[in-house]
Amino acid sequence: MSSHAAPIPMTARRSGPLTGTAEVPGDKSISHRALILGALAVGETRVTGLLEGQDVLDTAKAMQAFGADIEKRGDTWHVNGVGTGGFAEPDQVIDCGNSGTGVRLIMGAMATSPISATFTGDASLNKRPMARVTDPLSLFGAQAVGRSGGRLPMTIVGAADPVPVRYETPVPSAQVKSAVLLAGLNAPGETVVIEREATRDHSERMLTGFGAQVSVEDSPDGRVITLRGQPELRPQEIAVPRDPSSAAFPVCAALITEGSDVLVPNIGLNPTRAGLFTTLREMGADLTYENEREEGGEPVANLRARFSPDLRGIEVPPDRAASMIDEYPVLSAVASCATGRTLMTGVKELRVKESDRIDAMAQGLRACGIEVEEGEDWWAVTGRGAGGVPGGATVESRLDHRIAMSFLVLGFASREPVRVDDAGPIATSFPIFEPLMTRLGASITRDNGVF
């Protein structure tokens, strides 16, 4: 979407203190899955708390194109599904916008039905690798024809007579795992996915909730996930929890902005998602969990973040990467305000997100006066201490919402303003970012960047 829209430059200025409550939107990963599994169930699934970001709205539109009936009434999204194997062939190209999760999960969901669909996205999504999904989908009997290098636009011809698959994921990716599991829904027998490193497990949890038989075992080769094919999925009532990846922004802003004290209520702390918060606490952040509880089978807490003037650089262990993969950009903003070096290893997946996130952050941070070193699968940020970030630069967001938000957060704590050339992509995952941060006391302006 943003590739066609006029850019929205935004400038963040030294702010503070940030105070109050930050009610962040629903979880993006869970929202995509609620719509897709709702579309594959027989009957009406009702979803509250759905993230109404562009990524998820594009998935809703796609599910309608495959035959599901989706409508929002009041605060509730009603999804009337077509049943496993019941997808209709879309008569238009499916545009997944900026969303890797959307396109990869939907490709999986349709790949074992006797239909074809053509997928495209914006300039960012059309650069991202799809072979990681189409390779395992071809084992089910599906065929994919796309641009060279396995890029979108791409047509998937679904398998008319699918066979179940046993697949070890070559990259730590919940999107790949989920695409295989969704394809396995319409294959007879058992589909097995083995992942060496545990990635977010929302698909496994939600498939079980919809009545599919899913077992998860830890083995010497990693996690083994087994799905029995061709279940009748039962419609569900889903209350989407708030997104820890969005909570990261007000939390990190509070930690680095003088005098701040911010409460971010009802955040899911599923261990496959909470790596950032562990890391921040290791750096000396004043970040506490209040009212820890279970909701809908997920650990949940209110996060309280206060200005932390004595943050220290640390080594982030590589086996934590999957549990905070989307949070490295904002972590690097926090690391810029710490003393010492923060080393992040085992993170080459960052290079194939909405942008090459190591390169995007490294270039922008250097322009803001921060020292960054980088290699193919690691990078290191040497901080300037609380209040020590020079800022005073315009940085490129590269069609990447997390890059845009991370630099705006850095701007709240920098000496000179930080300007982002296009904050439009923020609408993909956190459409209320600007008013929410402004209400906390942050200074963000839409302007022409005259400092």
Ligand X SMILES: C=C(OP(=O)(O)O)C(=O)O
Catalytic residues: 326
Q: Which of 324, 338, 328 is nearest to 359 (CA)?
A: 328
349 binds, among ligand X, ligand S3P, none (CB under 5 to 8 A by kind): ligand S3P
Residue 202 in contact with ligand X, rule: CB under 6 A: no
Residue 206 in contact with ligand S3P, rule: CB under 6 A: no
Shortest Å, Cβ 245 to ligand X: 7
> In the beta sheet, which residues pair with residue 151?
147
In the window 28-87, what residues touch ligand S3P (CB under 6 A)? 29
95 binds, among ligand X, ligand S3P, none (CB under 5 to 8 A by kind): none
211: left (phi over 0), alpha (psi -120 to 50) or beta: left
Does residue 100 have a known ligand-binding role? yes
Residue number with CB closer to ligand S3P (256 or 350): 350
Residue 175 in contact with ligand S3P, rule: CB under 6 A: yes
User: What residues contact residue 119 under an 8 Å CB cut-off, 6+ apart?
Assistant: 93, 94, 95, 96, 103, 106, 107, 152, 153, 154, 155, 156
- How would you class 392 by CB atoms within 10 Å of its CB: exposed for 0-12, middle for 13-18, buried for 19 or more? middle
29 binds, among ligand S3P, ligand X, none (CB under 5 to 8 A by kind): ligand S3P
354 binds, among ligand S3P, ligand X, none (CB under 5 to 8 A by kind): ligand X
Does residue 200 have a known ligand-binding role? no
Letter string b/e over residues 422-449, b meaning 16 or more CB atoms within 10 A of that residue's CB: bbbbbbbbbbbbbebbeebbbbbeeeee
- Going by the DSSP 8-state scheme, the letter that residue 287 receives in this structure is E
Residue 397 in contact with ligand X, rule: CB under 6 A: no
Q: Are strands 237-239 and 286-295 parallel, antiparallel or unpaired?
A: unpaired
Q: Is the peptide bond before 25 cis (omega within 30 degrees of 0)?
A: no
Residue 326 in contact with ligand X, rule: CB under 6 A: yes
Chosen residue from 11, 45, 101, 112 binding ligand X by CB under 6 A:
101
Chosen residue from 41, 56, 60, 174 binding ligand S3P by CB under 6 A:
174
Phi first, then psi, for residue 289 (nearest 5°) are: -105, 125
Does residue 128 have a known ligand-binding role? yes
Q: How many residues bind ligand X (CB under 6 A)?
A: 8
- Going by the DSSP 8-state scheme, the letter that residue 235 receives in this structure is P
Residue 353 in contact with ligand X, rule: CB under 6 A: yes
Q: Which residues are annotated as a binding site?
A: 28-29, 33, 100, 128, 173, 175, 326, 353, 357, 402
